[in-house]
Amino acid sequence: GAVVSQHPSWVICKSGTSVKIECRSLDFQATTMFWYRQFPKQSLMLMATSNEGSKATYEQGVEKDKFLINHASLTLSTLTVTSAHPEDSSFYICSARDPFQVYNEQFFGPGTRLTVL
């Protein structure tokens, strides 16, 4: 099956700093990638939809200036958490859609645990 990787798998940073998370589709080209956030014992919440070569579409309530998304190639999307604060600590998961797979199936990365001190 399609493989999606994320880097780093975990990161600890100081409040006020910025953190970049990478999401890569390893064996297919993903025209669309998705970024989710998961708080403890909660479901995954979609933050934004990232389309290659165009601006990301953010869900209601997600600050686009705080969560910068770049989808510069068909295999890479990045999420930058700017001026991170403790409340941004969460599990961030990306997914990618293989356009050659039927039924709009999304393949998920292993996630990135962000802890802001």
Partner 1 sequence: KQEVTQIPAALSVPEGENLVLNCSFTDSAIYNLQWFRQDPGKGLTSLLLIQSSQREQTSGRLNASLDKSSGRSTLYIAASQPGDSATYLCAVSQGGSEKLVFGKGTKLTVNP
Q: Which of 52, 66, 113, 115 binds partner 1 (CB under 8 A)?
A: 113
Contact set for partner 1, span 28-57 (CB under 8 A) = 32, 34, 41-46, 49
Q: Is 103 in the site for partner 1 (CB under 8 A)?
A: yes
Stretch that binds partner 1, among 13-21, 63-71, 80-88, 98-106 (CB under 8 A): 98-106
Rounded to a whole number of angstroms, the minimum distance from the CB of residue 16 to partner 1 is 26
CB 107 within 8 A of CB 3: yes
